Amino acid sequence: MNKSLSATMHHAQRIFIKVPEITVYFWIIKVLTTGMGEVFSDYLVKHINPLIAVAFGGIGLVSSLVLQFSVRRYVTWIYWLVVVMVSIFGTMVADVMHVGLGIPYLVSTTFFAVALTIIFITWYAIEKTLSIHSIYSRRREAFYWSTVLGTFALGTAAGDMTAYTMHLGYFSSGILFTVLLAIPALGYWLFGLNGIFAFWFAYIMTRPVGASFSDWISVSHSRGGLGLGEGPVSFGLTIIILLFVGYLAASRRDVNAEPTESVMR
């Protein structure tokens, strides 16, 4: 393949990449969406019929995914809308397994960990890469969003497991997962840890970090929290998310400049 043809292919792939550049803004919004999804899911199931809440969550997720798959390139607000809906519905799925079906958090955490591992193995076996900067085909995008949903469900179950089963409480759980979140970042920057592995490890950890701290802020004093309530915390986080997403949409700081396999930079 000559250089001009290779450059043309790379340019075409860059145009059609469907995910944002991984910057500090990405990680900030990611943590905010995990917290918002956790508390808003709890708010919904407490204020309307849980079955209706789950149905609304599922419809919202499917609708946002249809919108995401209908566009040909990365669009900031559409991408983060899907992440928010995944966060809300992923929380509901994990909670249904425990509250609705009576499955212990340890079992659900193990189940989601195995399911996520299967998704990763299948994705790599078919596509030969797990890099999010290679998401420029529908099949890879389907693998990507399946993985994202799995990470949210796993993170929710793991956070609840440490808070309840291990009796750490929300705040201590948040600290624990923050330390775990720092491991791949330090490993990548200081010791040359594989960027793709580091990214997905960190991505999984952001879920229980955001969920644990948002629960701690929202739940009552009797449950070890600050007692601000799910409604106000959900609203506050939504406003902050909208501000960040609006800034990125206007500045385009999250648009990939060049295709790359390194996803932690």
| pLDDT tens track for 42-86 | 898 888 888 888 899 999 999 999 999 999 889 999 999 999 999
CB 24 within 8 A of CB 30: no
Contacts of 56 (CB under 8 A, 6+ apart): 44
Per DSSP, the residues of 177-234 read HHHHHHHHHHHHHHH---HHHHHHHHHHHHHHHHHHHHHHHHS-GGGTS----HHHHH
Largest CA distance in the chain: 68
Phi-psi region of 71 (alpha: psi -120 to 50; beta: other; left: phi over 0): beta
The span from the CA of 123 to the CA of 129, in Å, is 8
Q: Which candidate, 239, 212, 237, 240, places its Cα nearest to that of 224? A: 212
**What confidence category does residue 93 fall into, taking pLDDT thresholds of 50, 70 and 90?**
confident
Computed from CA positions of residues 134, 135, 138, 142, in that sequence, does the dihedral angle turn out positive or negative? Answer: positive
**What confidence category does residue 264 fall into, taking pLDDT thresholds of 50, 70 and 90?**
very low
Q: What is the pLDDT of residue 238?
A: 96
Helix/strand/coil for 97: helix
The span from the CA of 70 to the CA of 77, in Å, is 14
Q: Which candidate, 244, 243, 187, 181, places its Cα nearest to that of 213? A: 181
The span from the CA of 159 to the CA of 169, in Å, is 9
DSSP 128: S
Per DSSP, the residues of 144-181 read HHHHHHHHHHHHHHHHHIIIIIS--HHHHHHHHHHHHH
Question: pLDDT > 90: what percent of the chain?
Answer: 58
Q: Which candidate, 225, 222, 203, places its Cα nearest to that of 214? A: 225
Is it the case that residue 7 has pLDDT exceeding 60?
Answer: no
| pLDDT tens track for 147-187 | 999 888 888 888 889 988 898 999 999 999 999 999 988 99
Q: What is the pLDDT of residue 10?
A: 40
Helix/strand/coil for 85: helix
CB 50 within 8 A of CB 92: no
The span from the CA of 38 to the CA of 35, in Å, is 5
CB 218 within 8 A of CB 233: yes
pTM: 0.87
Residue 100, token pair as written in the block: 């609705």
